[in-house]
Structure 1
C-alpha cells in the first residue's frame, strides 16, 4: 500500500510539473491563449492512453494460466524496475533543461499555429507519466488478492491528493522544499523501490524454477528483522530486504546498485 501511495504521488507531481510549465507559458503569452483548450485536450488524451494500456495489461493477464501469470507478473516487475532506473537517469540528465525544452517546443507550435502539435506534445508527456504509473502499479500489486484492492485504491487516491498539495508547496518556492530537493529525495526512494521490484520479479522466477536460487535461502535473519511486518516489511517493500534471500537474487541486487551508481554518475557528468 505504501508503494502505491508513493508511486502515484511521485508520478503525479512530475506530470503536474510538465502541465504546469506549459500552462504558465500559454497563459503568459497572448498568442498562446487559444492553445489552452488543446492543452487540456492533450491531458485528457494522455490519461486515456494510460487507461488503455492498463486495460490491455489486465486483459493479457486474464488469458494466462497460473504459471503464465507468474511469468507475466515477474516480467512486469522487472520492466517496472528498469523503467524506474530509466526515468531517474533521464531526469538526472535533462532535469535542468526540462523547462527550456518544453517551452521551446511549445513556442514552435504556437508560432506555426500548430495547435494539434501542441495537443500531441502534451498527450505524449502525460501518457509517458501515466504509462509508467500503470506499469509500476501492476508490478507492485499484481499478486494482491481482492480484499486488498480497496486499500490500494485508497492509497492511490491519497497519493493523488498529496501530489496536488506537494505541487502547490513547490510552486511557492520556499526554502523548506524546492524542486531540486524534491527530485533528489524522491530519486533515492525511486531507486530503492526499483531494487524492491527487481527482487520481487527475480523471486517469482526462482519460485517457478525458471532461475536457480543457487543457495536458497542463503541465511535466515527473521529472528532479528522479520520481513513480514513492521520495519522489516517496510524495508522489504521499499528496498528489497529479505530475511531469507536466495544467493542469486542477492548477487543481482548488489549488481543493480553498482551498475545504477555508475550509470547515474555518467548522467550527472554529461548534464
Structure 2
C-alpha cells in the first residue's frame, strides 16, 4: 500500500503542478474562458486512465495461463520502462516545464478550440496511464489488490490537496527534494517489478527457468507480516531465480547511479552569468513562488 500511495502521490502531484501552471497562465492572460475546455481534456485523461486500469485488471481473465503470464511479464517490463523514463524526464526537464507549457498555450490560441482540450488531456493523461500501469504491475506482484488500489487513490487525493495548497500559497514544500527522493524509491520499486516480470516470463517458458539463486524462506516466511510488507512494497521474493537476481542488480546498478548523477548535475551551482537553457523565463508563471511549484530537478 505504501508503494502505490507514493506512486499516486508523485504522479498526482506532477499532474497537479502542470494543471496549476496552465490555470495560472490563462488567468494572467485574462482568458479564463478557456479553462472549461482544458478541464474537459483533464476529464478525458482521467477516463482513459481508469479505462486502462479496468482493462489491465479484468481483461486477462479470458486468456490461457501461458498468455496471462506473457502479458503480465511484458506489461511489467513496459511499466518499468515508463516509470524509468518518467523520473529521468522530470529530472532533466522539470526546470523548463513552466516555459514549455506556456509556449503550448500560446500556440493553442491560434488553433481550434480542440487544442485546449488536447492540452488538458496530455497534461494529465501521461501521469494517469503511468499510474494505472505501474500500480497494476505492483499489485500483480503480490500486493493486496484492494489495499494497493486504495493506496493509489489516497496518494492522488493527497496530491490534489497539496496542489491546491500550493496554488493558494498555503503549503510550502521543497519539490526538488521531494521528487529526488521519491525518484530513488521508485527505482527500487521498479527493480522489484522488473524481477516479477522476468519471473512471469520464466513461468510462461519465454525465458529459461532455473534453480533459485538463494532461499530466504526461513528468514522471511511467506505468511509473516514483514514478508507481506516487503512483497507489497518491493515485490520481494524469498526464492528468486538467477535471472531475477541479475535483472534486479543490473537495473539498480545502472539506473540508480545515473539518476543520482543527473540530480547532482542539476543541483550543482552555476557560475555567475551562466545560463541554463531549461531555466524558466523571467516572467514565468508559477502556482506559488514560495512553494517552488516547478521543481528544478
Q: Calculate the TM-score normalised by the size of structure 2.
A: 0.78
| Aligned match of 1:13 | 13
Q: Is the 8 A contact 1:213 1:249 kept in 2?
A: no
Structure 2 residue corresponding to 1:190, chosen from 180, 186, 189: 186
| Aligned match of 1:78 | 77
Q: Does 1:242 align with 2:242?
A: no
Aligned counterparts of 1:142 and 1:243: Cα–Cα separation in 2: 17
Aligned counterparts of 2:145 and 2:250: Cα–Cα separation in 1: 33
Residue deviations 1:158-177 (CA, integer Å, cap 9, x gap): 222222233345554866x3
Residue deviations 1:60-106 (CA, integer Å, cap 9, x gap): 41331122111111111111111110111111111111111111211
Aligned counterparts of 2:162 and 2:47: Cα–Cα separation in 1: 24
Question: Gaps spanning 5+ residues in structure 2: where?
Answer: 267-277, 279-297
Question: Gaps spanning 5+ residues in structure 1: where?
Answer: none
Q: Does 1:167 align with 2:163?
A: yes
Residue deviations 1:216-258 (CA, integer Å, cap 9, x gap): 2222233334465444443344344432221121111111123
In structure 2, the CA distance between the partners of 1:226 and 1:95, relative to structure 1 (3 Å rule), is farther
Q: Does 1:43 align with 2:49?
A: no
Q: Is the 8 A contact 1:42 1:120 kept in 2?
A: yes
| Aligned match of 2:126 | 128
Give the match's secondary structure for 1:243. coil
| Aligned match of 2:93 | 94
Aligned counterparts of 1:224 and 1:136: Cα–Cα separation in 2: 28
State the Cα distance separating 1:59 from its structure 2 match.
Answer: 6.0
Pairwise CA RMSD: 2.8
| Aligned match of 2:113 | 115
Aligned counterparts of 2:14 and 2:61: Cα–Cα separation in 1: 31
Q: Which structure has more RCO (C-alpha within 8 Å, separation ≥ 6)?
A: 2
Aligned counterparts of 2:149 and 2:10: Cα–Cα separation in 1: 16
Q: Is the 8 A contact 2:191 2:248 kept in 1?
A: yes
Greater helix content:
1
Q: Is the 8 A contact 1:9 1:159 kept in 2?
A: yes
State the Cα distance separating 1:212 from its structure 2 match.
Answer: 2.5
In structure 2, the CA distance between the partners of 1:96 and 1:135, relative to structure 1 (3 Å rule), is same
State the Cα distance separating 1:56 from its structure 2 match.
Answer: 4.2
| Aligned match of 1:207 | 203
Q: Calculate the TM-score normalised by the size of structure 1.
A: 0.84
Aligned counterparts of 1:150 and 1:40: Cα–Cα separation in 2: 29
